[in-house]
Every structure is written in structure tokens, then in C-alpha cells.
């Protein structure tokens, strides 16, 4: 059974993950409107990953007989001045999510909630990858902001390197 304090914080994180989903969806739509199909596809995929993260958390709460309470989320930012701004926003978002996951880990440790601590290990690893991906993408987009084809080519080349992770927690509804 998960500690009550952890359950409350994880329910809040479900909202954070769903907000990240919406923000990535808004980024994807921005790039789609700019006729940048590779960037759009990348962010549509990122949006689905964030939704899956929320649903992994839902599955964990269900598996531990804890209450699931889906919080409301603020509207995503949907207007951007250029091709760099959505990626900069995404990097900031990933850094914020990393802090949130680390805070969840602290709570699990303080509550001696070992199962929840173990559950979070995959998310710790995932956040290292997400921050690195967005950091690299921001470097490329900033350097090539006047050459959209170079950005598209980079994303097309790098997108193929990502694969399913068999160590990922189960997704509710999948």
C-alpha cells in the first residue's frame, strides 16, 4: 500500500503529465501549421509519451489500491514567435518534470514507501533521456533556425533511434 502523502503527490503528477501532453500537442500543431512534418511528428509522439506516463501512474495507483484523482490542467501555450520557442519551452518543461519526479522520490523515501520508490526509478532514467533529447534538439534548432530543412533532416534521422522500452511500467488501458 502506498503512503497517503505519496498517493496525493502522484495524483498531482498525473495532472502535470497530462499538462505536458497538452503542451507537446500545442507544439506539434505549431510545427504542423509551419509545414514542418518531422518536427510535428516528433512532438505528436512526445505528447503521446507524456499521456502514457500519466497512465503508467494511474496503473500504479490502481495496482496498489490507491485512489486515482485526475486533476484539472491549465491551458497549453499555443502561440510561438519562431521555430526555437517551442523547443526552449519543451526543455524547460522537461527540467521542471525532472524536479517533480525527484520530489516524488524524496516523498517515497521519507515515507519508507519502497514500492513507490522502485516504481519511480524508470521515470528517473526517462527524465535524463528527455532532458538530453530536448537539449540537443534546442541546440540544433537554434543553430539552424534559418534552415528549416536541416532541422527536419536532423529530426528525421534521430527519430528512428528511439524504441520501445521493455522496462517501462504498464500503461493503464493499454
Domains and CATH numbers, the chain: 4-159 (1.20.1260.10)
How far is residue 105's CA from residue 96's CA, in Å, rounded to a whole number? 14
CA 145 from centroid of its chain's CA atoms: 24
Q: Is residue 52 pLDDT above 90, yes or no?
A: yes
User: What percent helix, strand, coil does the chain show, rounded to 5?
Assistant: 70, 0, 30
Residue 100 has pLDDT above 80, yes or no: yes
Out of 18-22, 113-117, 170-174, least confident range: 170-174
Amino acid at each position: 500500500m502506498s503512503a497517503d502523502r505519496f498517493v496525493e503527490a502522484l495524483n498531482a503528477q498525473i495532472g502535470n503529465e497530462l499538462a505536458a501532453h497538452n503542451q507537446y500537442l500545442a507544439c506539434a500543431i505549431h510545427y504542423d501549421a509551419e509545414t514542418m512534418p518531422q518536427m510535428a511528428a516528433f512532438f505528436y509522439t512526445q505528447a503521446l509519451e507524456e499521456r502514457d506516463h500519466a497512465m503508467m501512474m494511474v496503473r500504479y495507483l490502481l495496482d496498489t489500491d490507491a485512489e486515482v484523482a485526475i486533476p484539472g490542467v491549465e491551458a497549453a501555450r499555443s502561440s510561438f514567435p519562431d521555430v526555437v520557442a517551442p523547443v526552449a519551452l519543451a526543455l524547460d518543461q522537461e527540467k521542471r518534470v525532472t524536479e517533480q519526479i525527484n520530489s516524488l522520490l524524496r516523498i517515497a523515501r521519507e515515507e519508507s514507501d519502497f514500492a513507490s520508490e522502485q516504481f519511480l526509478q524508470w521515470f528517473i532514467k526517462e527524465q535524463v533521456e528527455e532532458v538530453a533529447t530536448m537539449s540537443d534538439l534546442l541546440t540544433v534548432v537554434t543553430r539552424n533556425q534559418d534552415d528549416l530543412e536541416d532541422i527536419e533532416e536532423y529530426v528525421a534521422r534521430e527519430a528512428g533511434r528511439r524504441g520501445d522500452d521493455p522496462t517501462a511500467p504498464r500503461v493503464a488501458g493499454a
